[in-house]
Amino acid sequence: MSVAEDTLEKTSSQRDGSAVPTLVVENLKTHFFTRAGAVKAVDDVSFSVKAGEILGLAGESGSGKSITGFSVLGLIDPPGRIVSGAIRFNGEDLVTASPERLQDLRGNRIAMIFQDPMMTLNPVLRVDTQMIEAIQAHRKMDRKAARQRAYDALEMVGIPSPGERLNAYPHQLSGGMRQRVAIAIAFLNEPDLIIADEPTTALDVTIQAQILHEAQALCRRTGTAMIWITHDLAVVAGLADRIAVMYAGRIVETGQTDEVIDHPLHPYSVGLLGSVPSANKRGDRLNQIPGMTPSLIGLPSGCAFKARCPRADDHCDATPEVIEEMPGREIRCHHPHRQEAGA
Amino acid sequence: MSEFMIRRLLQSAIVILAMSAIVFFGVNVVGDPVDMLINPEADQADIEATIRALGLDRPIGEQYLFFLKGIWVGDFGKSFIFGQPALQLILQRMPATMELAFAALFLSIVIGIPLGLFAGLRPESNVSKGIMAGSIMGFSLPTFWVGLMMIIIFAVELGWLPSTGRGDTATFLGMTSSLFTLDGLSHVCLPAFNLALLKISLVVRLTRAGTREAVHQDYIKFARAKGLSSRRIVGVHLLKNILIPVVTVIGLEFGSLIAFSVVTETIFAWPGMGKLLIESILVLDRPVIVAYLMIIVALFVLINLVVDIVYSLLDPRVRLKDQGA
Amino acid sequence: MTVEITQQSADADAGLAITQEETAAAIETPFRRFVSEFLESRLALGALFTLGAIILAAIFAPFITPQDPYDLAQVDILDGRLPPGSEAFTEYTMWLGSDGAGRDLYSAILYGLRISLAVGITSGIIAIAIGMSVGLSAAYIGGRFETFVMRIVDLQLSFPAALVALMLVALLGKGIDKIILALVVAQWAYYARTVRGSALVERSKEYVEAAASLGLSHARIMFRHILPNCLAPLIVVGTIQTAHAIALEATLSFLGVGLPQTEPSLGVLIANGFEYMLSGKYWISVFPGIALLITIVSINLVGDQLRDVLNPRLKR
């Protein structure tokens, strides 16, 4: 039985129960306690993902989006620590779960794909070793069967002649090929959730498009929930069902992809979209958000974006609360772009 | 590849030639060759005869060629003390030295790598700080002093282990070694550990540095994200990556183990070629000294050569550079 | 080098041209900063004090010891092998016991320390002078000369220093001059490599070109302009190498191929005590050994701290 068929069966059953989100993150705070002070990398973040849904988590580097992903996996190393909040995965709280339980879930029910395919595969181990160990870590399966499963997974992500690739060392494969191997590893144990941390950033544009397409198709087919972390809104625009925009450790805007892209409400989202070159803006000046991403140490109170925000005023010295503009559309801002949204 | 080999071989030959010149002129020009090469207890007629036989009445250049010819056929002259050919004497003692060096190499790996791993994985723990302090001590304490302390503690005070000699030997697979008997093993413990101490410190540092670098690599985080047990991550993913540079360095250091065995062998009365060298220096047995020096130089050159070639086979970048040249 | 950096950073920080006074201030601060950074580590501070005490004790040995252990009139053979704390015939307490010839160990150690330090430091200074000249001229002249010199340096560094020294004493024989020569030969290559490395970096900097365009002589550029900027790494390597040299001399002397009995360094004292050790008279070897150990470890600790403070790359 191939992995694809295997997962297809499960999909239908999961789709039915999709009312309960696969992952719910509530008021998550992950801080790093350095000598210079506490870095609030993730500060009061809440979101959820349903089965078969793709959530785009967008933001500049240093906005805390990757740390959010690692928090879900329980891979935060000292001096970092989850300070408070809840991560509910299929109803089970991961913040309070034991390290053994987390290890059991990782790679099994929750998988992750990393940014740089050149670095994620161990250079001194063959591809088959790295795939088989991922299977055998979570289920009793003999080497031969596990290898067959790895073969099927490689085939599923569109790798030609998987038999040869299994015997190869990572450096014998191209970057795009390696990222496909990493994606195949993520799907090996048919996880309920995949966290993809900018998996296409390091790749050529053409390969990027292929991988995006394949990842999307796989998620739809298997009913796997996915969090796609990116700094590039253009990438998630065609991929994600919903988008969450992060800034300085907080989610500043959430909504359906079309709504956020077409009518961004938060000034930061507006700025971020303005800096993306696109066909209908050809000839216009690209906008640029003035200033720099703030240091997360000793962040001043109030809205973290106020120093760079064209709309900031005295109100912004108070931390904006989450406002639900309409169902499924949330922002953290005192002065959202409502007029434009309405126009 | 072959061009690289030939160039490397040529370099090695030049080094050995240069060292032979230094050793030769060290013996013949700095000192009085008659004093140095002739048994001081010989009578006048003997001395005259030997001077002629050794060609000491010839021009110095000719003498050097004569000396080189001797080296070529492995003739370094006879030991004044033992009356045996110097080379043969040294070769007889070589197995004991090799045995000690290998035992020390083994110890430095089996002790150094786990300690280095631990210190690299938990850099903040007190045990790790202790390990690193120990490795600093291992670097700065003179080997002979540690050897003395080991004798006082383990041989004199506690009486656990013997401190002199090689113990019983046994022959296994055609090799005669004290590593094959229990008594021999108990004798090899202290000297091997003494000789290994410096290398243990080195291996600890290398392993720790490699580990600290590797744990931040994505492939380790990815392995964790796959839900692998920490045993597999450390034992397979991490170790395999840091082992290559560590093993390379240990290989390169084998020559210095043999060189440093001079000290250890003398302290623990280990009947190897290092002890023979010191004894020969003390009684001015010049042929043996010259033979030892040439052998150790050749050994070093050989080890460097082998490591270079093996490394060029392993590391694609070295290979590439050579093809480009 | 530190002066340079501070000036540049001061420049950048203030965004102003530096006046004469400000330059003077900038020159003074790096040294103060260096001192305060060095003293940050209590371990290094302790090591520095210990080292200072050791050097003073060695210099003033004749004034702070109860006997001159090598003046036969002051030594009584009947005092031989007394355990620590014994009362000697000569009416003073031998706190560290006595050796086989009846010498007070405390006195013998301080006198031995003098010889050990003298040999280590003398050989270090000569090796620095040679290595520095070779390294500097290699970097400055360049071309074939540099290639040739650095080949020799690399070749020598492929052998352990201890082996090089041992080979030399094997060829040359015993004696304080020969040991110093052996230690110099064993060490110079480290200094040559260090100096050349930093001189190469300095040589490519603009101020050297500026000095050359002013028509300054080569020697002046080399010694007045490039050399001062190579001093930091040289000091670090020099400190640690001196510890090595002292340990190496002790090792050779212990093996009986170093200093003769007439120059009783710590290594010679340890060797003399070795024969008594197996019969339980540990102190004859152990106390000189501890003195040697404290010396070497404190030099190394000072050297490590110097490296951390002087090497900006290691700063965290």
Q: Does B125 touch chain A (CB under 8 A)?
A: no
Does B163 fall in a domain?
Answer: no
Q: Check if A122 contacts B (Cβ < 8 Å).
A: yes
Same domain, B291 and B263: yes
Bond before B271 cis per omega within 30 degrees: no
Phi/psi-derived region of residue B270, left when phi > 0, alpha when psi is between -120 and 50, beta in every other case: beta
> What are the two backbone dihedrals, phi and then psi, of residue A330, each rounded to the nearest 5 degrees?
-125, 145
Q: Which residue of C256, C277, C293 is in closest CB contact with B278?
A: C256
Q: How confident is the model at residue A161 (pLDDT cuts 50, 70, 90)?
A: confident
Residues B143, C274: C-beta atoms closer than 8 Å: no
Residues of chain B whose pLDDT is less than 50?
316-325
Q: How far apart are CA C194 and CA C242, in angstroms?
A: 15
From the list B18, B137, B300, which residue is nearest C159 (CB)? Answer: B300
Distance separating alpha carbons of residues B252 and C158, to the nearest angstrom: 9
List the chains bordering chain A where 3 or more Cβ pairs fall under 8 Å.
B
B22 and B124 both lie in a single domain: no
Q: Which fold has domain C108-314?
A: MetI-like fold (1.10.3720)
Residue from B226, B228, B247 whose CB has the most chain A CBs within 10 Å, to mutate: B226
User: Does residue B320 sit within a domain?
Assistant: yes
In a domain, B177, yes or no: no
What pLDDT sits at residue B148? 86
Give the pLDDT of residue B36. Answer: 56
Same domain? B19 vs B136: no
pLDDT at A281: 57
Confidence of residue C184 (pLDDT cuts 50, 70, 90): very high
* B272, B177 Cβ separation under 8 angstroms: no
The helix/strand count (H/E) of chain B reads as: 14, 2
Tell whether B237 and B278 lie within a shared domain.
yes
CATH number for the domain including B103? 1.10.3720.10
Higher pLDDT among residues C89 and B71, named by residue? B71
Q: What is the pLDDT of residue C222?
A: 77
What is the reported pLDDT for C89?
61
**Which residue segment(s) compose the domain that B29 sits in?**
15-72
pLDDT value at residue A278? 59
In this structure, is residue B171 part of a structural domain?
no
Contacts with C, B 142-171, CB within 8 Å? 142-145, 148-149, 151-152, 155-156, 163
Cβ–Cβ of B237/A104 closer than 8 Å? no
Mean pLDDT in chain C?
A: 78
pLDDT at B325 (0 to 100): 34
**ipTM greater than 0.90, yes or no?**
no
Residue B7 inside a domain? The answer is: no
Contact A170, A123 (CB under 8 A): yes
Give me the pLDDT at residue C22, please.
43
The full set of domain ranges for chain A reads 10-109+191-332, 119-188
Which of A126-130, B68-72, C9-13 is predicted least confidently? C9-13
The predicted-structure confidence for A244-269, as pLDDT tens digits, reads as follows 888 888 888 888 888 888 888 888 88
pLDDT tens per residue, range C96-151: 777 766 677 888 888 889 999 999 999 999 999 999 889 988 888 888 888 888 88
Q: Which CATH superfamily is domain A10-109+191-332 in?
A: P-loop containing nucleotide triphosphate hydrolases (3.40.50.300)
Out of B221, B227, B240, the one facing A137 most closely (by C-beta) is: B227
Q: What are phi and psi of A324, to 5 degrees?
A: -95, 100
For residue A9, what pLDDT is reported?
42
pLDDT in tens, C267-313: 888 888 887 877 777 788 888 888 999 999 899 888 888 887 876 54
Structure pTM?
A: 0.77
Residue C286: predicted pLDDT: 86
